[in-house]
Structure 1
Amino acid sequence: MNAHVLFFDEVDRSRLLDVGGKGANLGELSKAGFSVPEGFCVTTAAYKDFIATSSDMDGLLDELYTLDRNDLERLRKLGEWIRTHLLQLEIPTPIKNEIIKAWKAIGTHYAYAVRSSATAEDLPTASFAGQQDTYLNIRGEKELLRHIHHCWASLFTDRAIAYRGKNGFDHRQVYLSVVVQRMVQPEIAGIMFTADPANGNRKVVSIDASYGLGEAIVSGIVSADLYKVKTGEIIQKNVSEKKKGIYALPEGGTITKDLPKEQQKQQTLTDEQIRNIARLGKQIEDHFGSPQDVEFCVEKGKVYVVQSRPITSLYPLPDIRQEPLQVLFSFGHFQMMTDAIKPLGISVIKTFVPFPKQYIQEAGGRLYVDLSEILRHKIGRKIFPKIMINMDEAASRAIGEVIQRPEFLAIPSKLSLQTVRPFLSFLMKEVWKNLFKRDPAAARGKVEAYMQQTWTDLRESLLNVSGAKRLEVVQSELLRFFKGLIPNVGPNILSFFLSAMLLKKLLIRWLGDDKELHQLNKSLSGNITSEMGLQIGDLADLLREFPEVEAYVKTADDRNFYHGLADVPDGEQFQRAFANFISTYGSRCPGEIDLTRPRWREAPTQLIPAILGHMRSVEPGEHRQKFIQGEQEAKAAEQRILERLQGNRFKYKVMKRLIKVYRYYGGLREHHKYLLTLILDECKQAILTEAEDLVQKGILPEVEDAYYLTLEEMIQLAKGQLIEEMPRLLAERKEKHEWHQTLRPPRVMTSEGESVTVSRTGEFPAGALVGSPVSAGVVEGKARIVLKPEEAQLHQGEILVAPHTDPGWTPLFQSAQALVTEVGGLMTHGSVVAREYGIPAVVGVDDATKMIRQGQRIRVDGNQGYVEVLSDGE
């Protein structure tokens, strides 16, 4: 028989299922010698035996599973029924007797705090804080039993039911223990986070403190003092005006009182107490092995710990030392793909990226690049933030702030440029030739020949191999991908970027402004991604002619998409055109450098919303006409520039050359990404072929389970290794990936865990959402929030508001009147395409998809870089 009551010194984390998270943590602290007021736990066994006395509970729980958590009225009524029912049940006599015995053992003359402690509470990924009820200053046997009864019922508060539903917890598998703890009568109480909850810095302890019971802080009736401590030093003190406090009444219960005027503005804790409490917090953190949210109180100068739970809101740290200070930036933000990536996708990226492995770290299912060693060097510190401005202006600002900190500058760089000097010398020679000697028009043929040869070589190398050997070929081909790409394609990309920078500088220096530059970017010749967008428009125009085919594709699924087209009148004609598009672009998709994402060839219906959106918002043939018009506008801009320089032959000649370089090499800036998608798609097919074989052998349950393994683990599995570990490994990886998907990755973080943000300065309208201006123009229109391009429903005149865009989003650009994204920079994909299409764009607008609501009328100012909400719209 399981015990109904356990004292704190009888429990630890191994008894989580008996006493819940709160009870287990208090037991751990008590056993470790921390000052925890005495108490006991009424176990989950007691709760189960209590619930078992009801013949109706199973039916009520069944109703919870049919509940739509968005139906708040139904949720409220059902929660009230369950709570009322539980409060009508009698507590079984054996349970009552054990509780009273434990209460007497500690002392009947004390007041007690009665708190719920659920088995799904205070876990590393879900805190459940505040979901069930807490009662303070409970006195006497009758009141103690009554409040334990109410704690059990509080497992079904409206907020607890909704929280479990949202986080996927089974109502039948979450049980409640009740913590009964001797009340201290504190002069001061507070909450301490052993890592800064505002920015995640693991070295900063954040303390809120006020007078009386901590309930005043938790309930929000008082603005507490805020203190921050880093490595033993107080780095911040905000002393607030504390007008009220909550205190215990002698007869039981609590009262809210006004504090004396002279006390309201006093510093609650002395500096010595602040440092001592911070030190205590770090000791508790060391005991649990993770940052903690600690509730404490001070009675007659002694500090008591009354609760500790993990902080679940922190973004995970990469596996690197916190010292010396390092700065990392998000690879996903740079690549316009901020979602969590499955292990296979991460391992493939780490295989083909050109960084040494110590420079790329994993955290929270994302990749972070650590170039601290380069940034400690004076040259790297000067150049890199300027380069980053083009990629992500917000990241550049954040990196620039960190690398000027004394603690960062105090560490000398060990970097030697001798190792990279030959490579840089080669690269710059090639770029110089591209800028001033070679015919830019000839570059496209060379690049496309290299791409075709690379793709052919890979396919041939995979032809006659299987098993582990096939996977090893995939690995070796990925490893050498950038070794060939950088010398063959790298100079072209760099030539485009440098020509853009030079044009901007010279236009301003020679003509006084660079307003013509955005015109020069329109309709770049040879841009493979722009051509893809034009072909989407062609498919839309074709579909207009076949209403029955249009009706079919609106409901088609991926599995029988092509087969179904054959059964629709005129379907074969559209099928041929669509298949031709897929034969060229089927390797692409949103987030396309994540190998685990479904390609368009695998999920062709991803393209249908973009095609239908084009039909709604663009007239037949308009997309081709706009492209031709863009070419004409670019040519006209070139003529206007050159006319103004005719009096100076040197300037005229240099400008004419740079414009030509800019437009031709700009047309090639997407080719390397396209080649990468071809390579990744071939590798994916090879990996999944081997995964199918492992499924047939009974080693993997499903083909897509391969996504939760690294490439190296797949090779080991194909060799007969790791087989026994598979069930555990897959379960752990799937659970972790689900958690990672809920996290918001920081753009820039330090090795201390600090998420670094630096706001853009300037004069902007009140309430404006500020980002970076990347494509000129001012437009007003209705906001269309799109989180996934395959779910887009763009209509004529709407403004696309998205978390980010990459080439997989290109089909939507024809339909959008303007673009707003949360991520991006001057030279990232969405910005370049927006300029090419001539639509205004503002990128790097934090939380744009949350701050702007669907259908609101907004103004996008691509000249100054901000968005204004004008009205709520329809």
Structure 2
Amino acid sequence: MSQYVLNFSDINKSSLAEVGGKGANLGELGRIPGIRVPAGFCVSTRAYADFINTSGAFAALLNGLSGTLLSPEQLKTAGKQIRDHIETLAIPSLIQQDIILAWQETGSQLAYAVRSSATAEDLPGASFAGQQDTFLNVKGEQQLLDCIRKCWASLFTERAIVYRQQNGFEHDKVLLSVVVQQMVFPEVSGIMFTADPVSGNRKTVVIDAGFGLGDALVSGIVAADLYQVQGGTLIKQQIARKETAIYAKPEGGTVNVEIAGERQLVPALAAADAIRLASLGRSIEAHFGNPQDIEWGIAGNEIFILQSRPITTLYPVPPASGDQLRLFVSIGHQQMMTEAMKPLGISVLKTLVPVGKSRPQEESPYLQEVGARLYLDLTDLLGYPQVRKRLPELLLNIDEMIGRAVRDFISRDEFQPSLQPDKKVEPAWLTTAFPTIFAVFRNILYRDNAAAMEEINGFIERQIHENRTKLLAVAGVARITEVQEILSSLIPTVLPRIAPYLGAGLITYKLIAALSQKWVGDAQELGDISKSPTGNVTTEMGLALGDVADAARPYPAVAAYLKQAADDSFFAGLRAVDGGAEVLPVLLAFFEQYGMRGTGEIDVTRPRWREAPTALVPAILSQIAGIRPGQHRLVFAAGKKEAELAADRLLERLQAKPGGFFKARCMRRLIKVHRAFIGLREHPKFFIVQNLAIIKQVLLQEAAQLTAAGVLAAHEDVYWFSLQEFKTIIATQQADYAVVAGRKEQFSNVAKLKPPRVMTSEGEIITANPGASVPAGALPGSPVSAGIVEGCARVILKLEEATMQKGDILVAPYTDPGWTPLFPLAAGLVTEVGGLMTHGAVVAREYGIPAVAGVDNATGKIQNGQRIRVDGTQGFVEFIE
């Protein structure tokens, strides 16, 4: 229509810069067959920019939001100053003319909804749900212009400012369009998710419905009826008590109306309409290519779609082919590294796994990258009856929640058709495993194990030296191929050598526990028996770091230096301070032995301690301040003594029982084997980590050559490619930076998501079924944002009276978009009303804080300052004291 106004029919997904995310989505919705969208137009971002540019003071006011982090009070003041200033500006006449002309053509006699649409809103990576203002039932020219100006001003509400800061958007780079859309006055309205926003199941459409306008649901002032549809079938209907509805007033604006008694429990939505809505939702999802959060209304039996945005909080779906329901478990939760990994880190670990590959250079198909984390597909393994029987119990020892979730999944009806009762383990597997199994029992029963630890350590040293030599002997493509082959060989090399010993150490632990229970009625000595075993590389590393702290403790100048040390001059700078020369040899010895380690060390793209030595400074300083000289060694020795005493006590108790001589003799052997081998439990990972550190060094050497040749802008850019892609870059001397840019953006979007422990190929997050739905004394509610948190309850009835500290748990009647500035402070959320689609639930999921909604009279039952535990996964609140 003009540079300032665009009709919905003139808008599509390429119009984002002109009409923002909401406006672009509305234009796309109108192109979907069978979808009815109320007519309207968008006031473009060009109009906003030209409007703002009429002000000489706006730029200076905007600068007040930049720089240092503002306090809540400063933020409130700065935002109000900008809003007040915008609302005093006159809209230029050319902009007014275009708006009025579009309004007249669309129907000046009609009522309109006026909504903001920012250029950083309703995007795949950030929904910005409810961050700017909406005005309903707007009538007349002056009211329309006033509401448009208020929408522009709402770009600087506290909630919008905080949200941009949290998501890394610059205030002056976000522009605002305004959507002007014909009002629909529905009998029923609500929100529909085309995937379950809590479980993640992509096959489930979740619909919340209430009477009147949908703002009552979105703002959380009323509970909603819940409907779930799968495959054209209504599978769940949960009717809420709907005490309030919002309706339009004849003169404009809206009013809250109380719903009369029995009608409160009347279903808002007929089953047929829920199924009809779900079908429309699937059409919208198919058009946009991802799950959608859709606002809808039904007026006169006609379904109107008011807006649609991507659901940004869903964890990605694992890649899977075919119709079989497949099960995936997180590798990161088992390895204590749940952070997102860059493509090179993913590629290295997939190459490390030797199964399912025809060549060593390939990546294992059993590991899948999902949301920049690795997941293991267990489905084929679960086809074996014995695996189904044993695997959950094994997983319980690794991660209890994973084990319980897998066990629950196996029992599901929808998984049963894929089972094969007669599927047998291949004889070749048994033939391969038998020597190891025999060796385990030999080590338990009669083998002299005195030299086992020394043999294993020597073996690992030789293998490390051999692999380093191989990698230094080649270069270029041949070196990356050697990296792939070494990676594929690590597990087959180390496990057969260590498994007979480590297996014996683990089995004897179980046997000590079981036989203690059987023979003396308890296993009270078991905990002490496992204390301070010899040879544990991780324990030894901790002791060595304690030695560093002891060396530094007498020299205050060393501690002062460590507080301000930099990675690139860490060791050189230490020499220049008083006591540095004495501390340096001890420190260097530690880094010589353990410098290849670091947080998240299974990911080669994460820094090792030798690359970032300051990462150890807090641990060193903490030990200096909190531990006496030599105390770490004394504690270890005391633990060893306690283990010996516990063993003696257990043997004495056994000897007093019938058959005591035989029982004590058996137990003495089990304890001896356990103590000899349990220290090896960290060796396999230590072996792999040492190899990964060497591999990282040679990969970065190759990357440095590519950087010197101008192929890479920086050697760390190689982290965004797989090993196979790395080989191609070396061979062609070309790198595709469009790939890098795309992967960086995708990584940024998924890195903030919380990875689930267990999920299906439908995207459903499997959580373990608790023994009881609600513990005794707990307050039940709806689980709307997963996780568990403990903290101090902060009961707030009115936002303007809010006083919170970082880490408080916010307890409120409900939360609407105005409460957003409190979310960065909150560790958890409890509300009295609300559901999956309400503001508090949506923002809680985006901030990653546990939340429970629908807790009856929460603000009365929970006292201000009381310590509580919020379980947002299962849906209840417990009192800690």
TM bin, normalised by shorter chain, reads: 0.7 to 0.9
The one-character-per-residue Cα deviations of 1:624-673 (angstroms, maximum 9, x if unpaired) are 12211111111111112222333344323322221111111101111111
Alignment of 1:738 with 2:739, yes or no, is no
How far residue 857 of structure 1 moved from its aligned partner, in angstroms, is 10
Are 1:398 and 1:758, in contact at CA under 8 Å, matched by a contact in 2? Answer: yes
How far residue 58 of structure 1 moved from its aligned partner, in angstroms, is 2.1
Q: Secondary structure at the match of 1:667?
A: helix
Are 2:547 and 2:586, in contact at CA under 8 Å, matched by a contact in 1? Answer: no
CA distance in 2 between counterparts of 1:524 and 1:678 reads 22
Which structure 2 residues correspond to residues 47-58 of structure 1 after superposition, within 5 A? 47-58=48-59
How far residue 856 of structure 1 moved from its aligned partner, in angstroms, is 12
How far residue 384 of structure 1 moved from its aligned partner, in angstroms, is 0.4
Are 2:320 and 2:326, in contact at CA under 8 Å, matched by a contact in 1? Answer: no
The one-character-per-residue Cα deviations of 1:712-735 (angstroms, maximum 9, x if unpaired) are 222211112542x12x22222222
Alignment of 1:673 with 2:696, yes or no, is no
Quick one: which amino acid aligns to residue 519 of structure 2?
A: W
CA distance in 1 between counterparts of 2:406 and 2:745 reads 32
Quick one: which amino acid aligns to residue 574 of structure 1?
A: V
The one-character-per-residue Cα deviations of 1:313-339 (angstroms, maximum 9, x if unpaired) are 111112224832111111000001111
Q: Secondary structure at the match of 2:472?
A: coil
Which structure 2 residues correspond to residues 304-323 of structure 1 after superposition, within 5 A? 304-321=304-321, 323=323
Alignment of 1:604 with 2:605, yes or no, is no
Counterpart in the other structure of 2:709: 697
Counterpart in the other structure of 2:411: 404
The one-character-per-residue Cα deviations of 1:274-325 (angstroms, maximum 9, x if unpaired) are 1111111111111111100000000011111001000001111122248321
Quick one: which amino acid aligns to residue 458 of structure 1?
A: N
Counterpart in the other structure of 1:716: 728
Counterpart in the other structure of 1:841: none
How far residue 402 of structure 1 moved from its aligned partner, in angstroms, is 0.8
How far residue 764 of structure 1 moved from its aligned partner, in angstroms, is 7.2
CA distance in 1 between counterparts of 2:171 and 2:127 reads 16
Quick one: which amino acid aligns to residue 100 of structure 2?
A: I
Counterpart in the other structure of 2:174: 174
CA distance in 2 between counterparts of 1:298 and 1:848 reads 34
Counterpart in the other structure of 1:370: 377
Counterpart in the other structure of 1:183: 183
Are 1:360 and 1:368, in contact at CA under 8 Å, matched by a contact in 2? Answer: yes
Counterpart in the other structure of 1:754: 764
Counterpart in the other structure of 1:808: none
Higher mean Cα deviation, 639-648 or 252-261? 639-648
Counterpart in the other structure of 1:324: 324
Quick one: which amino acid aligns to residue 239 of structure 2?
A: V
Counterpart in the other structure of 1:342: 342
Distance 1:131 1:850, change over 3 A: closer
CA distance in 2 between counterparts of 1:226 and 1:52 reads 46
Are 1:113 and 1:183, in contact at CA under 8 Å, matched by a contact in 2? Answer: yes
Are 1:118 and 1:176, in contact at CA under 8 Å, matched by a contact in 2? Answer: yes
Are 2:340 and 2:372, in contact at CA under 8 Å, matched by a contact in 1? Answer: yes
Alignment of 1:435 with 2:444, yes or no, is yes
Quick one: which amino acid aligns to residue 584 of structure 1?
A: Q
Alignment of 1:193 with 2:193, yes or no, is yes
Q: Secondary structure at the match of 2:394?
A: helix
CA distance in 2 between counterparts of 1:136 and 1:41 reads 16
Are 1:322 and 1:752, in contact at CA under 8 Å, matched by a contact in 2? Answer: no
CA distance in 1 between counterparts of 2:851 and 2:631 reads 32
CA distance in 2 between counterparts of 1:133 and 1:89 reads 18
**Size of the alignment, in residue pairs?**
784
Quick one: which amino acid aligns to residue 724 of structure 2?
A: E
How far residue 569 of structure 1 moved from its aligned partner, in angstroms, is 2.4
CA distance in 2 between counterparts of 1:670 and 1:441 reads 19
Identify the match of residue 571 of structure 1 among 561, 580, 593.
580
The one-character-per-residue Cα deviations of 1:670-726 (angstroms, maximum 9, x if unpaired) are 111111111011101101111111111111111222222222222211112542x12
Higher mean Cα deviation, 39-48 or 638-647? 638-647
Quick one: which amino acid aligns to residue 656 of structure 1?
A: R
Quick one: which amino acid aligns to residue 408 of structure 2?
A: E
CA distance in 2 between counterparts of 1:349 and 1:550 reads 38
Alignment of 1:657 with 2:669, yes or no, is yes
Distance 1:37 1:756, change over 3 A: same
Quick one: which amino acid aligns to residue 398 of structure 2?
A: M
Distance 1:177 1:596, change over 3 A: same
Quick one: which amino acid aligns to residue 124 of structure 1?
A: P
Quick one: which amino acid aligns to residue 326 of structure 1?
A: R
Percent of aligned pairs with the same amino acid: 46
Are 2:369 and 2:375, in contact at CA under 8 Å, matched by a contact in 1? Answer: yes
Quick one: which amino acid aligns to residue 38 of structure 1?
A: A
Which structure 2 residues correspond to residues 157-168 of structure 1 after superposition, within 5 A? 157-168=157-168
Counterpart in the other structure of 1:787: none
How far residue 91 of structure 1 moved from its aligned partner, in angstroms, is 1.3
CA distance in 2 between counterparts of 1:94 and 1:764 reads 64
Q: Secondary structure at the match of 1:264?
A: helix
Quick one: which amino acid aligns to residue 170 of structure 2?
A: D
How far residue 555 of structure 1 moved from its aligned partner, in angstroms, is 1.7
Are 2:319 and 2:761, in contact at CA under 8 Å, matched by a contact in 1? Answer: no
Counterpart in the other structure of 2:221: 221
CA distance in 2 between counterparts of 1:563 and 1:58 reads 47
Q: Secondary structure at the match of 2:427?
A: coil
How far residue 362 of structure 1 moved from its aligned partner, in angstroms, is 0.8
Are 2:711 and 2:733, in contact at CA under 8 Å, matched by a contact in 1? Answer: no
Q: Secondary structure at the match of 1:64?
A: coil
Quick one: which amino acid aligns to residue 42 of structure 1?
A: V
CA distance in 1 between counterparts of 2:624 and 2:378 reads 46
Higher mean Cα deviation, 523-532 or 617-626? 617-626
Q: Secondary structure at the match of 1:729?
A: helix
TM-score (norm 2): 0.85
Q: Secondary structure at the match of 2:690?
A: helix
Are 1:376 and 1:403, in contact at CA under 8 Å, matched by a contact in 2? Answer: no
Higher mean Cα deviation, 548-557 or 684-693? 548-557
Are 1:42 and 1:177, in contact at CA under 8 Å, matched by a contact in 2? Answer: yes
**Structure 1, unaligned runs of 5 or more:** 769-781, 784-846, 860-866
Are 1:194 and 1:293, in contact at CA under 8 Å, matched by a contact in 2? Answer: yes
How far residue 52 of structure 1 moved from its aligned partner, in angstroms, is 2.0
CA distance in 1 between counterparts of 2:866 and 2:733 reads 56
How far residue 868 of structure 1 moved from its aligned partner, in angstroms, is 9.9
How far residue 750 of structure 1 moved from its aligned partner, in angstroms, is 1.2
Are 1:462 and 1:470, in contact at CA under 8 Å, matched by a contact in 2? Answer: yes
Are 1:315 and 1:745, in contact at CA under 8 Å, matched by a contact in 2? Answer: yes
List structure 1 runs of 4+ shifted beyond 6 angstroms: 762-765, 847-851, 855-859, 867-871
The one-character-per-residue Cα deviations of 1:47-79 (angstroms, maximum 9, x if unpaired) are 12212222222222222222524x111111111
Counterpart in the other structure of 1:37: 38
Q: Secondary structure at the match of 2:64?
A: helix
**Structure 2, unaligned runs of 5 or more:** 357-363, 780-790, 793-847, 853-864, 870-876
Distance 1:390 1:476, change over 3 A: same
Q: Secondary structure at the match of 1:65?
A: coil
Q: Secondary structure at the match of 2:568?
A: coil
How far residue 344 of structure 1 moved from its aligned partner, in angstroms, is 1.2
CA distance in 2 between counterparts of 1:154 and 1:41 reads 16
Quick one: which amino acid aligns to residue 207 of structure 2?
A: I
Are 1:440 and 1:660, in contact at CA under 8 Å, matched by a contact in 2? Answer: no
How far residue 399 of structure 1 moved from its aligned partner, in angstroms, is 1.0
CA distance in 2 between counterparts of 1:40 and 1:379 reads 63
CA distance in 1 between counterparts of 2:562 and 2:612 reads 13
CA distance in 2 between counterparts of 1:857 and 1:152 reads 41
Q: Secondary structure at the match of 1:633?
A: helix
Which structure 2 residues correspond to residues 105-504 of structure 1 after superposition, within 5 A? 105-321=105-321, 323-356=323-356, 357-413=364-420, 416-504=425-513
CA distance in 2 between counterparts of 1:176 and 1:682 reads 51
Q: Secondary structure at the match of 1:592?
A: coil
Distance 1:534 1:759, change over 3 A: farther
CA distance in 2 between counterparts of 1:857 and 1:531 reads 38
The one-character-per-residue Cα deviations of 1:576-625 (angstroms, maximum 9, x if unpaired) are 01101111111111211111121111122222211221222222222212
How far residue 441 of structure 1 moved from its aligned partner, in angstroms, is 2.3
How far residue 495 of structure 1 moved from its aligned partner, in angstroms, is 2.1
Counterpart in the other structure of 2:518: 509
Identify the match of residue 637 of structure 1 among 623, 627, 646.
646
CA distance in 2 between counterparts of 1:130 and 1:603 reads 41
